[in-house]
Amino acid sequence: MNVKPLADRVLIEPNPAEEKTAGGLFIPDTAKEKPLAGKVLAVGPGTTDVKMEVKVGDQVLYGKYAGTEISVDGKDYLIMKQNDILAII
C-alpha cells in the first residue's frame, strides 16, 4: 500500500457489510448499511496540537458520514481525521 496519511489523518479499511440478518434472510446490495467499524491500516505523524492515539492494526468505530472514500488498486478505503474516530475496540 502506497498511501501515507498526512498530519492527523488515518487510513481505514471498513469491515465488510452484513450479508444476512440474524434470522438468516439475505440482504440485497441496495439495502445494506454502510459499516461503522474498520481496521486502521496507516496513521499520519500527528501535529503539534494533536497527538496520535490510534495505531496500525486497531479496530475502530467511526461516525456514519465520517471520512472520505477513496479507491486504491480496486479496493475501497476511508481516510479521516483522528477526531472523527469515536472509539477503539
Domains in the chain, CATH or no CATH each: 9-88 (2.30.33.40)
User: What CA–CA distance (Å, rounded) separates 52 from 30?
Assistant: 36
Confidence of residue 11 (pLDDT cuts 50, 70, 90): very high
Collapse the DSSP code of 22 into the 3-class scheme (helix H, G, I; strand E, B; otherwise coil) and give the result.
coil
Alpha helices in the chain (DSSP H): none
DSSP 20: B
Check pLDDT > 80 for residue 80: yes
Confidence of residue 52 (pLDDT cuts 50, 70, 90): very high
Percent of the chain having pLDDT more than 90? 73
